[in-house]
Amino acid sequence: HVDGVDEIEILVIDDGSTDRTIAVAREHGVTHFVHHTRNMGLARSFRDGVDYAMAHGADIVVNTDGDNQYPQDRIGDLVQPIIAGTADIVIADRQTHTIGHFSPFKKLMQRFGSHIVNRAASTELPDAASGFRAYSHGALIRLNVVTQFSYCMETIIQAGNKRLRIVSIPVVTNAKTRESRLFKNVFHHMAKSGSAIIRSYLMFKPYVIFATLAIAFGLLAAIPFVRFAVQWLTGGDTSGNVQSLIFGSIMTVAALLSLALGVLSDLQRTNRVLIEDQLERIKELQYPRTAAWSPSLTSAAASDDRLRQNNASVAAAADGLPPRPVTATAARPPHPED
């Protein structure tokens, strides 16, 4: 039972598992499944799970991992800010500095990674890598997962740049039962996460990256040219500066190319914004809200008056009671290649 929620549905995402995941879930009464015949990866599993949940009328989607890392009894606390209308996304803070099986290096990298994500998303989240999250219907309408590895970093950067409200609540994780199957080691995880962060940031602020590169190359180009100009104006010997001039010319070309790429990428960003606006409208029609209740969102997706009301919500409103949302809990089970 979760206060403020009429109905809870459990969805199990089977990402090509070879064990008895589905059978065990059925034995425990689960009726909703997303099944991949082969391992498709975390991001694809999350995206397919969200599509399934929203197609079946979920107003809130809670994502948790199948390795029992997260305390499922805190799901109620996770969704309360969304029900209260004070948040669009709620992320559990694992308080990584207190996790015993995390090495000092891993704890340091967790803090560093969260700092980088916060800078890219203009947020202040203590644990950006946490997968224990709750999303409102309106937030999922606006988010588009395109990465192939992990959605965790990408969704935060998207949500931050789209001005969605993200809050964090502290939780205590359960004891470790096995090694992670998502990545080989911490360096593999850092490389994959770093790539996802850079790609996501480039989607929203490509001009920052390319303008920085253009300035850096321009400064490197100026050094040999200034040196040559000073020697030429003072009547010094400039015959030995050919290599410097070649280097300066190369840096000048690199600066101009970076500037051109910055302009083109910014124009491409404009196209992305227009395409996402159309995609949001399509999602609103494809996944209409099934309850009259809705948290206040700054996006047009949250205030669209085309959203439908279900019978339970209408009856509740007729009785003078505030209608309550439906929530779906999506669980991602472990599998050998995860």
Query: pLDDT for 187-217, tens place per residue?
Result: 777 888 888 888 888 888 888 889 999 999 9
- Cβ atoms 80, 72 nearer than 8 A: no
pLDDT at 239: 67
Report pLDDT digits (tens) over 258-296: 999 999 998 988 899 999 999 999 999 998 876 555 444
Give CA–CA dist 321/113, Å, rounded: 44
pLDDT at 237: 67
Residue in the structure block whose two tokens are 């080989």: 184
Superfamily of domain 7-204+286-332: Spore Coat Polysaccharide Biosynthesis Protein SpsA; Chain A (3.90.550.10)
Tokens, residue 6: 């009429």
Q: Which residues of the chain have pLDDT under 50?
A: 294-326, 333-338
pLDDT at 27: 92
Give CA–CA dist 144/130, Å, rounded: 18
pLDDT at 238: 63
What DSSP letter does each residue of 116-153 carry, written as one string?
Answer: HHHHHHT---S-TT---EEEEHHHHHH-----SS-HHH
Q: Give 75's contacts (C-beta < 8 A, 6+ positions apart).
A: 2, 62, 64, 134, 329
Chain centroid to Cα 99, Å, comes to: 23
Give the burial class of 68: count Cβ atoms within 10 A of its Cβ; 0-12 exposed, 13-18 middle, 19 or more buried. middle
Give CA–CA dist 96/65, Å, rounded: 17
- Strand segments, DSSP code E, in the chain are 7-15, 32-36, 60-65, 89-93, 133-136, 166-170, 326-332
- Domain extents for the chain? 7-204+286-332, 206-281
Inter-axis angle of helices 206-233 and 186-204, nearest 10: 90
pLDDT at 301: 35
